[in-house]
Amino acid sequence: MSPNHGHSPQSFQEQVIQAMKLLVSGQAPTIEVEDFTRTGPKGVELGLIAAYMIGSIKGYKIEIKNTSGAPLELLEKDFYRTGDVAIFFDKRFVNTGEAATFYVVGY
């Protein structure tokens, strides 16, 4: 029997899905981050809630606050940066002064 006890190794896609599930559910182990910098489109403020390490994949839970004078539609393309492999927002639209949670996994 193989060292993984008959289980097939997870594909990269399966690892990313599992990492996102752990991140969103709050079950991933947290890590300390000293130099978190991430930007979004004009009219938003981003704040790190927590950082995680799931195997070799890093995850971030980030608050997005709408500081513009209008409702904002959250689009993945506005928050993507090189190294991101999956992005999830807990809601798609954010009114002025309200916040949403943004989850991202990557390297």
How far is 15 from 9, CA to CA, in rounded Å? 10
Cα–Cα distance between 76 and 1 in angstroms, integer?
Answer: 43
pLDDT digits (tens, 9 = 90+) for 10-61: 888 999 999 999 999 989 999 998 888 898 999 999 999 999 998 889 999 9
φ, ψ dihedrals at 95, nearest 5°: -75, 165
Q: Domain spanning 12-106 has what CATH number?
A: 2.60.40
The residues spanned by each domain of the chain are 12-106
- Written as six digits, the tokens of 81 are 């940066």
The model's pTM: 0.84
Range in 6-10, 59-63, 68-72 with the lowest mean pLDDT: 6-10
